Amino acid sequence: MNNEVIFTIDGVDVSAEKGQSILKAAEAAGIYIPHLCAHKDLIPHGSCRVCTVLINGRPHSACTQPVSPGIIVDSECEEVNNIRKTIIEMLFVEGNHFCMFCEKSGNCELQALAYRFGIFAPTLPYLFPDRELDASHPEFFIDGNRCILCARCVRASRDIDGKNVFQFVGRGINKKVTVNSSSGLSDTDMNKADKAADICPVGAIIKKRVGFAVPIGKRLYDQKPIGSDIENKERSNG
């Protein structure tokens, strides 16, 4: 049985496997689709919508939408990029992201996406919400100010670590990530080997005593734009 699916993205014919997501198929073809909640080791979640694309003219999340024969996907058009820019701006103003003080600066995927899209200052008003901090754990510091509700830590702890350390509580503007202990992270069984410890795309989960071991200016996205590893890989293969 032939499992190959051919579809078009930004005018390029792409070959994919049946059932593969548009995001994964695009990456395999060397086409970068911006994303935040998606991660190669996690089941797609579709919560951030940064990976929004137009499929036959209608918006869908590329991480959850499987490929279909003959579909036409637009990822780099003005309409899509304006949607992404608005989402990224909203993620900044709905939290308290002070990049100049954040240990994740230079390794932060949200910050790197803002640079890729030319967002140097949000145009939307800041909300300055009151967010919780948790420094009770001997190995980790949790800063709710930087959480973007991507659910990476929730999914990694549940599906990979098998611990359920993190979970969502509340709804709407009151939704937040909390831990499975009323007394804080220190009374959970989270440890350095957990996938949840490393998978946060922003600075919401920070390991203690390793801050700035890699100095600003020499970090991942200080060296190359986010997504360039996918794009450069295809050029080298071609």
* Structure confidence at residue 234 (pLDDT): 55
Residues 96 and 199 grouped into a single domain:
yes
Residues 46 and 99 grouped into a single domain:
no
* Structure confidence at residue 231 (pLDDT): 87
Tens-place pLDDT, residues 14-51: 999 999 999 999 999 999 999 999 999 999 999 999 99
Please say which residue of 76, 111, 137 terminates a domain. Answer: 76
Residues 40 and 92 grouped into a single domain:
no
Residues 208 and 108 grouped into a single domain:
yes
Query: What CATH number corresponds to the domain at position 163?
Result: 3.30.70.20
Tens-place pLDDT, residues 84-124: 999 999 999 999 999 998 999 999 999 999 999 999 999 99
Residues 119 and 148 grouped into a single domain:
yes
Enclosing domain of residue 196:
87-212
Mean pLDDT value of segment 151-179: 96
Question: What's the total number of domains in the chain?
Answer: 2
Residues 113 and 25 grouped into a single domain:
no
* Structure confidence at residue 2 (pLDDT): 77
Residues 195 and 97 grouped into a single domain:
yes
Residue 235 located in a structural domain: no
Residues 203 and 128 grouped into a single domain:
yes
Residues 100 and 56 grouped into a single domain:
no
Please say which residue of 76, 109, 128 terminates a domain. Answer: 76
Residue 152 located in a structural domain: yes
Report the 3 state secondary structure along the chain.
CCCEEEEEECCEEEEEECCCEHHHHHHHCCCCCCCCCCCCCCCCCCCCCCCEEEECCEEEECCCCECCCCCEEECCCHHHHHHHHHHHHHHHHCCCCCHHHCCCCCCCHHHHHHHHCCCCCCCCCCCCCCCCEECCCCCEEEEHHHCCCCCHHHHHHHHHHCCCCEEEECCHHHCEEEECCCCCHHHCCCCCCCHHHCCCCCCCEEECCCCCCCCCCCCHHHHCCCCHHHHHHHHHHC
Residues 126 and 91 grouped into a single domain:
yes
Residue 222 located in a structural domain: no
Residues 10 and 116 grouped into a single domain:
no
Residue 138 located in a structural domain: yes
Please say which residue of 52, 76, 100 terminates a domain. Answer: 76
Residues 138 and 70 grouped into a single domain:
no
- Whether pTM exceeds 0.85: yes
* Structure confidence at residue 5 (pLDDT): 95
Residue 233 located in a structural domain: no
